[in-house]
Copies of this chain bind each other. A is one copy, B any other.
Amino acid sequence: MKIVGLITEYNPFHNGHLYHIQQAKRTTGADAVIVVMSGDYVQRGVPAVMPKRLRAESALECGASAVFELPVCYSTGSAELFAESAVALLDQLQIVDSLCFGSECGDLDALSEIADLLCQEPKDYRSLLKKHLRNGLSFPCARRKALKEYLPEKNFAALLDEPNNILGIEYLKAIRKLKSTIKPYTILRKGARYHDQELSTENLSSASAIRSLLSYSGSSLRKYDDLPKGAFDDTAPFNIFGELESQVPQCCLKLLKDCHKVSYPIYQNDFSLILKYKLLNKYPENLLRYMDVSEELANRICSRLNYFFNYKQFCDLLKTRELTQTRINRALLHIMLGIKKTDVEEYIDGGYHFYARLLGFRKDREKLLTRISKESSLPLLIRLSETETIPPLGRKMLRNDMLASNLYTSVVTDKFKTAFQNEYKQKVIKI
């Protein structure tokens, strides 16, 4: 059995993701698809719009064979850390033959060439990069500029304008760095670009556009108050599903309908008070221990806390030329979730992963799990009550994952007035 690995967020799952699964199988000739997915918090440094199990189930309904959770300290890390840890997880499963990722360019050779260059970091390139960083550019900008100047004849810099190209390059770097035998493939992304806010008429909207649609669904009770009376009545969600129908695969539409306003949508601002509580009475030196918190950012957080109105507005407030929005999102999230620099360094030094946390699988692919149990270098984690085979460092990581998920679930259940279920007791999805 040939197995392809996909690295995903599915925030939320849409037609483009279905296409990705189908094309990945076709391109690589795989019979099974193993997905590594962000949990309840995603790489932009924000909570996912819906819980991980709902997103995993959507993917399974649409053809994924098994979905594994990327630990929260990685799923909310820089593109580099996200990619490296996700590739490491696929690699350590030991049964994945290939990795297939979508990119805006669809050109594996070009992406590989950039990846090699970034891995080697030739001296001239490095001094260009340093110069731009010194001048106050953010890392992504400095890198793009340095690359453009280092290889002016190639159009590489333009490739770095596209988020999926960038992630693709990181996957390729990771494969190289980890000396993985996983064979990379890329497919051309169709339809919308990542940041598009408008729904596409070609049925391939970006996840970002779909999230934006969901945010109109009046899910936040407070939103209603700002609206003219009658602007949204009880039928509003169904109109929204009318819109969604063309953007989301049929196979998961029912699931999304059933769970709407029961377990999603969830936004950054649903965590406003929690973040504020965590930041109260803190000094910059208390915040520096958390991942992605620089001295400059720690100072800004403390000096501007009096102007905190809500989570999103506070992120905007902290922005500077050097500090990207995503970096700020991540830093605040890491503070809130207690994700510390030293812990993450320890995890990375320890080999990134200590368990493979299964969120769900298709029963017709159950044999995959048997193979993983036998061949993988990681314990297959199905029940959180069975962690004997996980080393202490891994258990620490798992505790942090559980805290993050229990917090997310607490916010969900508080928002929609539903019963809380501890992560510890959640079951693996089988369909």
Contact = CB atoms under 8 A, between A and B. Distances in A.
Contacts of A399: 281
Contacts of A272: 414
A216 interface: no
A383 interface: no
A179 interface: no
Interface in A272-317: 272-274, 276-278, 280-281, 305-310
Contacts of A308: 410, 420
Given A306-B420, A421-B306, A281 B406 contact: yes
A137 interface: no
Contacts of A403: 280-281
Interface in A199-228: 221-222, 225
Contacts of A390: none
A413 to B, nearest CB: 8
Most chain B C-beta atoms within 10 Å of own C-beta, residue among A225, A273, A281, A310:
A273
Contact of A221 (B225, B273, B306): B225
A402 interface: yes
B277 A309 contact: no
Interface of A: 221-222, 225, 272-274, 276-278, 280-281, 305-310, 399, 402-403, 406-407, 410-411, 413-414, 419-422, 425
10 contacts: A272-B414, A273-B273, A273-B274, A273-B414, A277-B407, A280-B406, A280-B407, A281-B403, A306-B422, A310-B414
Task: Give 7 closest A-B pairs by Cβ, nearest first.
Answer: A281-B403, A306-B422, A274-B277, A276-B410, A280-B406, A273-B414, A280-B403
